[in-house]
Amino acid sequence: MAQHHADSIRRLGTSASLVAVCDPQLTAAQALANAANGTRAYGSLAEAIDAEALDVVHVCTPPASHVTIATEALRAGCHVYIEKPFTDSLSTTTQLLTLAAEGGRHVCSGHQLLFERPTQAVTEFLPFLGKLRHVESYFSFRALKRLPDGRAPLRDDLQFLDILPHPVYLLLHFLKAGGEGPTEITSVSAGKSGTVHVLLRRGTLTGTLVVTIEGRPVDSYLRVVGTNGSLHADFVRSTVQRHIGPGNSGIDKLLSPYRQAWQLIGGTTVSMARRFLHRQRSYPGLTEIFDAFYKSILGQGPSPVPPESIIETVDVCERIAEAMASAAPVNAIAPANSRPKVVVTGGTGLLGREVVRQLVAEGAHPVALGRREPAPWDRIPGAEYAVVDLARPLATEILRDAVVVMHCAAETAGGWGAHQLNSIDATRHLLEACGAAGVERVIHVSSLSVMAGSRNGELVGEASPLESDPKALGPYAWGKIESERLCATLCKESGIELRILRPGALVDYREFDPPGLLGKRLANLFVAIGRPSHPLAVADLAFSARSLIWMWHNFKDAPPILHLMDPAQPSKADLLARLRATNPDLAVIWLPPIALVPLSWLALVVQKVLRPTRPAINVAKTFARQEYDYSLIARLAPEIIRSVGSDIAGAHPVAERPIAHTQVSAAPTSPG
């Protein structure tokens, strides 16, 4: 967000100058300062205040620090711009605004959507709607599960509260524009998994707010309804569709969809062209709200976000936060004395969460380690959670008395640095702590991507060699290969018994999402790579979790290494059929394997030119077919499934159709 602020201030030209960047991590401050010429970096705001003649301080830090930093800036005589959420409570908001008023300082909150083109267009056409009767504000978004640099983002419910002010202040703004009297919150309903409904009233004007972390597609719109028509503001595409007039006649009803479709097509085209031509990288509306704020400081107009608007927004958000807290499920943990303790790293991730769920179901005491605390609705009742960053040395206490450690944690995105920290370093720190804590057994989750390609028609099995040039396959495969090698070395040195599970591309047959090596979805077009008849080595999520638990229960007899693949051997066409079953409008085109060869050569050349010091990723090698030996997993699968509850067995393809072969061709797994 600080980068967006810096870009927007730069766009203002000579009316404002960015002179200082502050961050406790001085390297982060220096990186941003270097990008903004003439800017100096400081490790704290106090240092910047002492060294610079500051007029305005922009607070872009996490919400919990807003009050402390803004108070420091106001007491130093600075005006303050505070990113949303302004604060987390009405009382602290009132304190800040009072302090600003007493010192004659201006304060602005990050309500930049009020300065975007859709809001301006709605305001322009508002007088033509007659008397306003209803305002609807809707926001759906996908919570971030990871950040590009490998850091863990806020947990999902805190991301929800972080984004919440945007749809709230939009709704309040237009309720105030068309209603009379104070705004009343008549109903707040919070679901248990990230959806909130709020009903508000201002005189005779009603407003509804819907914010969801679950709804798709990602969307953000405002709808204003009056006695003479309606307006629909789309903040994703930056357009407004107008339907002005009573619309009572048959002609109106017939032509209205065409008129609005034309407005959507034309508005979207103009909006995208404007962003491209202006090279708009920062948030729309950000430069405009900064300009209005600075002009208000110079006495050229009122504050762009008046104090009463900030107070109302914080009040509604606080009420919603309270409703979410009261609706959160209680995570009761049974006494662990008689239950075996199983530590699961990455216990809040895709595979780890399913492992924890199955461990609880069979009476174990799982301790889920993750880089962030899960949202209340993501917790498995009966499980214990601990926030641990394995990129740093691990305290041994959390591992004491564990009968086994299941190492599911690994980086799945980002560059080489992220995989070094969250895959390789994480494995080292975990195993060092396991040795110090006296852990005797570890199950390491690796990946089929560690294997070298098949040669001379030989099948790739558990005893086949690892890839000798892992960096050619990209950061993910490199991180997995180095982690597995490190795991084998450290376990041998520490006397820890080790089992390795190498799953193919993880898929959840209950809620199917295609793996990366199947291809890429572009809107309603899916570009599939390979041939429809080619099998793909995939591993069902529930079956993979069950295999881990089976390996723990049968540790002595379990193979040292197990390639985990679906013995039902689904072809790429089979997997696409699953996807199209829930996406009937999806069109599929096939990119034949031969087409990857020239594309891969071109990609290698481009990588060498643009990033000469970094390893070049061989795309063709990543997507090349492999010949896998399925005999071991085919023999063990029935035994694993017999120990599974009906909900898991019913979702697994082995329960749906017989195993046809024990040796097939498949592709290696990838981060997808």
- pLDDT computed for residue 648 by the predictor: 41
How many CA atoms are closer than 13 Å to the CA of 419, on its beta-carbon side? 18
| CB neighbourhood size of 461 (10 A) | 17
| CB neighbourhood size of 558 (10 A) | 17
Max mean pLDDT range (3-17, 354-368, 608-622): 354-368
Please give the Cα distance from 454 to 477 (Å, whole number).
Answer: 16
Place of tokens 């508002």: 126
Please give the Cα distance from 157 to 162 (Å, whole number).
Answer: 9
H helix or E strand, kind and range, residue 342: strand 341-345
- Terminal-residue alpha carbon distance, the chain: 28
- What average pLDDT does this structure show over 112-138? 95
pLDDT beyond 70 at 623: no
Chain-wide mean pLDDT for the chain?
A: 88
Q: Are 86 and 307 in contact (CB under 8 A)?
A: no
Span 283-301, pLDDT tens digits: 889 999 999 999 999 998 8
- What average pLDDT does this structure show over 55-70? 95
- What average pLDDT does this structure show over 316-325? 94
Span 15-61, pLDDT tens digits: 899 999 999 988 888 888 888 777 899 999 999 999 999 999 999 99
Least confident of 89-98, 246-255, 519-528: 246-255
Q: Kindly report the length of the chain.
A: 672
The pLDDT confidence band at residue 669, using thresholds 50, 70 and 90, is very low
Q: Are 84 and 93 in contact (CB under 8 A)?
A: no
DSSP per-residue string spanning 350-361: HHHHHHHHHHHH
Span 444-489, pLDDT tens digits: 999 998 998 777 778 899 999 998 888 878 889 999 999 999 999 9
On the 0-12 / 13-18 / 19+ scale of CB atoms within 10 A, 305 is buried
| CB neighbourhood size of 106 (10 A) | 19
Please give the Cα distance from 159 to 153 (Å, whole number).
Answer: 8
The pLDDT confidence band at residue 152, using thresholds 50, 70 and 90, is confident
Backbone angles phi, psi at 305, to 5 degrees: -130, 100
- pLDDT computed for residue 388 by the predictor: 94
On the 0-12 / 13-18 / 19+ scale of CB atoms within 10 A, 488 is middle
Q: Which amino acid does the sequence have at 33?
A: A
Please give the Cα distance from 484 to 477 (Å, whole number).
Answer: 11
Q: Domains in the chain, start-ordered, CATH in brackets?
A: 2-111 (3.40.50.720), 113-278+305-326 (3.30.360.10)
The pLDDT confidence band at residue 282, using thresholds 50, 70 and 90, is low
Q: Which long-range contacts (CB under 8 A, 24 or more apart) does 463-470 make?
A: 463/561
Q: What contacts 357, CB < 8 A, 6 or more positions away?
A: 380, 545
Q: Are 305 and 329 in contact (CB under 8 A)?
A: no
pLDDT beyond 70 at 335: no
**Residue closest to 97 by CA, chosen among 82, 83, 115:** 82
Backbone angles phi, psi at 467, to 5 degrees: -60, 130
Residue 610 vs residues 31, 136, 457: alpha-carbon distances, Å: 21, 47, 36
- Going by the DSSP 8-state scheme, the letter that residue 467 receives in this structure is P
Which tops the pLDDT comparison, 336 or 563?
563
- Assign residue 9 a region (left: φ > 0; alpha: ψ between -120 and 50; beta: otherwise): alpha
> CA 71 from chain center: how many Å?
32
Backbone angles phi, psi at 443, to 5 degrees: -110, 120
Backbone angles phi, psi at 20, to 5 degrees: -150, 145
- What average pLDDT does this structure show over 329-342? 73
- pLDDT computed for residue 438 by the predictor: 95
**Residue closest to 561 by CA, chosen among 475, 488, 505:** 488
Q: What contacts 557, CB < 8 A, 6 or more positions away?
A: none
pLDDT beyond 80 at 617: no
Place of tokens 């969801």: 212
Please give the Cα distance from 96 to 101 (Å, whole number).
Answer: 9
The pLDDT confidence band at residue 621, using thresholds 50, 70 and 90, is low
Q: What is the pTM of this model?
A: 0.81
Which tops the pLDDT comparison, 205 or 644?
205
In 354-496, the DSSP E strands lie at 365-370, 384-387, 402-407, 441-445
Strands 519-522 and 525-529 come out as antiparallel
Q: Are 132 and 225 in contact (CB under 8 A)?
A: yes
Q: For a pLDDT cut of 90, what percent of the chain falls above it?
A: 62
**Residue closest to 212 by CA, chosen among 140, 274, 159:** 140
Give me 270's structure tokens: 């103009």
Please give the Cα distance from 160 to 442 (Å, whole number).
Answer: 36
Span 75-91, pLDDT tens digits: 999 999 999 999 989 99
**How large is the C-alpha radius of gyration of the chain?**
28
pLDDT beyond 50 at 345: yes
Give me 652's structure tokens: 């697994």
pLDDT beyond 90 at 168: yes
The pLDDT confidence band at residue 659, using thresholds 50, 70 and 90, is very low
Give me 574's structure tokens: 């089979």
On the 0-12 / 13-18 / 19+ scale of CB atoms within 10 A, 466 is middle
The pLDDT confidence band at residue 272, using thresholds 50, 70 and 90, is confident
- What average pLDDT does this structure show over 495-502? 97
Give me 311's structure tokens: 């107070």
Span 566-614, pLDDT tens digits: 998 899 999 999 999 989 989 999 988 777 667 767 777 777 777 777 7
Give me 269's structure tokens: 């085209």
> CA 647 from chain center: how many Å?
28
